[in-house]
Structure 1
Amino acid sequence: MSKLITQDKLLKINKILIIQYKPFGDVLLNTGYLPALRAAFPEATIDYLVQKPYTTILENNACIDNIIVMNKLKTGTLAYAADRLHLISRIRRENYDVVIDQARGPGAAEITLFSGAQYRIGWHKTKKWSWFKGHNWVYNYRELKNHNIYSARAKFGLLRPLGIQEIPHNTYIHVLSESENKVRNWLKQMGILNKSIAVFSPVTPIRKRQWDFRRFAEVADMVTEKYGFNVVLLWGPGEKKKVEHMASLMKNMPLVAPPTTFNEAAAMLKHARIYFGNNGGIHHLAVAVGTPTVTVFGPGTSPLKWVAWHMPQHTYLINSDLDEYTDGGFGVTPEMVFREFERLMESGHI
């Protein structure tokens, strides 16, 4: 691995395409390396292939020239085949010199293969039959992925063939002025603008990641009673009843946020002093806007990969003795979570 493109060839690179078309968290994690890529190729066109609604993460990003929107259609249908053929034809016409495939699935491999790019960069898969079924053969520059560091850092690995090493960075989302104004007006109406706010995002669609709502409620009460924080419950589509259930379990009534877009959620998190939640896209959003985080992990997921633990303001809890999902407690108590919060308070990170 780590085969480098020679300097004389690097100087001839004019067009670059990045592929990572979903979901919110994974697209956001790709924004960390974009400034380094732009600095290395200041005159090149850098485009990004993404599906809706994840385009919102990349809009107004100065490091990207064009966002290419990919339709989400059911595989195996005539509509899918026609749309994919149209997309590949469009990409071929762009004459990209480099394709960086961060997604590394069968669909992304197909797009990379037929892109016509001279340099096709992707992750090297090591499992049996990976050369054929894992599509290693598609990529003439492959890198082994480091799964023991935050994913945003690991993604720098695909820049190594371009002579780019990891630099100090953070992920990024441009918070729209409309989003900021909407959130500020709501916080003002609630009487908590410029006050200490703790945002909880307690819901995840993935059952094995869902920490118990009663335990979240106990942490929220501790944060309110001992430190006077105002608790705001953030929720996404289909989650309102669940956050209302958490609110009903609390002794101190929290504020349930209004419906928010992903960009508005970023604005809300910017006003928070601390974020509590499960592993997921909202956690990565909090990291991107600079809000300290305490994240609870269930079994089978690596926090080394999904927490920005290299930054001291981001911490996590996981019971490493728990091998499989048994219940929503994860062997993590509210007192343990609250102690992590207090540690961040005492160290000055909140």
Structure 2
Amino acid sequence: MEITIVAGARPNFMKVAPIIKAITRANHTDKLISFRLVHTGQHFDNKMSGSFFEELGIPEPDTNLEAGGGTQAEQTAAIMVRFEKELLENRPQVVLVVGDVTSTMACSITAKKLNIDVVHVEAGIRSGDLTMPEEINRMVTDSITDHFFTTSSHANENLLRSGVPVNRIHFVGNTMIDTLLSNYDRFKNPEISVNGVDLKANSYFVLTLHRPSNVDQESQFIEIMNAILDGTGNFPIIFPVHPRTAKLLEGLHIKDPRLCFAEPLSYLEFNYLVKNSRGVITDSGGITEETTIMGVPCLTLRNNTERPETITIGTNELAGTDPEKIKFYLNKMVNGEWKKGIAPPLWDGKAAERIIASLLEIYEKELSLSYL
């Protein structure tokens, strides 16, 4: 069986790492799976992608399309043109895409136009918010996917409602959690200090913000930051700044002795901070999954989420961007009054094994039928 695995942005690397390891384990049995790892170059900054290969034990990509930069349309076009050439030169049986970034959608379209099967890992999640580029990517990808590997019952239900046959939906769990659990004992202290004082467990907050809806409008960004500063008591706030957000912050002059801006951190360093924090404030979806597994309080500054299980049974809450609501929830974090969460079903570190077992069963059966 020949698979092309696509990764292009930081969240993708966490999702493909356990899949590659599961393929390696399968190849030690009587199964044989060959794969090519294609890095689209969507994230081309080494701090956003390069360090992940070494830390997570991902082999060097077989090719890097170097399609980063530009507008959404320019990046999509560049990925499609270069990925088409890759597939024509190295045609696989299956193209495996993960998540919901531009690379996911662009490579899915390219593969289907060449009549190559697409399998989507983390299929079926929906926020219902069409202003999010990721929601468009999810919907387009799932409209042409052949087999859907899902993380939750919510995702299964979304796919069934859209008309996907039940035999093409495979509930396997969450490969991001595979990576989290397998690296839990390897988290690395980034040794950040605030005003010369080293951070102690449960004595600081972690903040991440990058979505255009939160950071593009100067007045709203300032309101959000002021609400966060007002609601977090005397605790320091560690803010690893996305390159895009760093540019916006330069002109806002947001300063406070408790606010510590940091360079983008490696996977092991960032999760060390999260694991030992009092709570996380974010607009990222993936982080809400990790905090749920680590039992860390998490506040999402969005009006919707594509991961409702992190709220219904996890440690996440939605606050939107209303300053008063943000401060209300942060006061609960400060006072240690946050809810306790549990792990969603099948978020047990074995999702990648289930994916590879399913792919072997599906495509060995299809190959056998083709010879009849």
TM-score scaled by length of structure 2: 0.56
Q: 1:56 to 1:37 in 2, by over 3 A?
A: same
Where does residue 339 of structure 1 map in the other structure?
332
Q: Quick check: 1:34 aligned with 2:19? A: yes
The answer to whether the Cα contact below 8 Å between 1:275 and 1:294 also exists between their aligned partners in 2 is yes
Where does residue 273 of structure 1 map in the other structure?
277
Where does residue 105 of structure 2 map in the other structure?
105
Q: Cα deviations across residues 239-278 of structure 1 (Å, max 9, x unaligned)?
A: 4574985543xxxx31514423444752552563234323
Q: Quick check: 1:304 aligned with 2:316? A: no
Q: Cα offset for 1:161? A: 5.4
Q: 2:229 aligns with which of 217, 234, 247?
A: 217
The answer to whether the Cα contact below 8 Å between 2:6 and 2:37 also exists between their aligned partners in 1 is yes
Q: Quick check: 1:295 aligned with 2:291? A: no
SS at match of 1:49: strand
SS at match of 2:229: helix
Where does residue 50 of structure 1 map in the other structure?
39
SS at match of 1:204: coil
Which structure 2 residues correspond to residues 195-344 of structure 1 after superposition, within 5 A? 195-201=201-207, 203-208=209-214, 212-221=224-233, 224=234, 229-237=235-243, 239-240=245-246, 242=249, 245-248=253-256, 253-263=257-267, 266=270, 269-270=273-274, 272-280=276-284, 283=287, 287=291, 290=294, 292-299=296-303, 301-302=304-305, 304-305=307-308, 308-309=310-311, 312=314, 314-318=315-319, 328-329=321-322, 332-340=325-333, 342=335
SS at match of 2:331: helix
Gaps of 5+ in 1: 1-13, 126-132, 320-327
Where does residue 345 of structure 2 map in the other structure?
none
Counterpart of 2:226 in structure 1: which amino acid?
A: R
Higher helix share: 2
Q: 1:71 aligns with which of 66, 73, 87?
A: 66
Gaps of 5+ in 2: 44-48, 126-138, 216-220, 343-372
Q: Cα offset for 1:296? A: 2.7
The answer to whether the Cα contact below 8 Å between 1:38 and 1:63 also exists between their aligned partners in 2 is no
Where does residue 3 of structure 2 map in the other structure?
16
Where does residue 165 of structure 1 map in the other structure?
172
Q: Cα offset for 1:201? A: 1.8
The answer to whether the Cα contact below 8 Å between 2:97 and 2:108 also exists between their aligned partners in 1 is yes
SS at match of 1:101: strand
Q: 1:295 to 1:148 in 2, by over 3 A?
A: farther
SS at match of 2:4: strand
The answer to whether the Cα contact below 8 Å between 1:21 and 1:50 also exists between their aligned partners in 2 is yes
The answer to whether the Cα contact below 8 Å between 1:170 and 1:288 also exists between their aligned partners in 2 is no
The answer to whether the Cα contact below 8 Å between 2:94 and 2:119 also exists between their aligned partners in 1 is yes
The answer to whether the Cα contact below 8 Å between 2:206 and 2:277 also exists between their aligned partners in 1 is no
The answer to whether the Cα contact below 8 Å between 1:201 and 1:277 also exists between their aligned partners in 2 is yes
- CA distance, structure 2, for counterparts of residue 167 and residue 136 of structure 1: 17
Sequence identity (%): 6
Q: What is the RMSD computed on CA atoms of the aligned residues?
A: 5.2
Q: Cα deviations across residues 15-36 of structure 1 (Å, max 9, x unaligned)?
A: 32233533x34x2563596389
Where does residue 7 of structure 1 map in the other structure?
none
- CA distance, structure 1, for counterparts of residue 245 and residue 143 of structure 2: 42
Q: 1:163 to 1:336 in 2, by over 3 A?
A: closer
The answer to whether the Cα contact below 8 Å between 1:17 and 1:47 also exists between their aligned partners in 2 is yes
Q: Cα offset for 1:206? A: 1.3
SS at match of 2:177: coil
The answer to whether the Cα contact below 8 Å between 1:277 and 1:295 also exists between their aligned partners in 2 is yes
Q: Cα offset for 1:192? A: 1.7
Aligned residues: 294
- CA distance, structure 1, for counterparts of residue 187 and residue 243 of structure 2: 17
SS at match of 1:217: helix
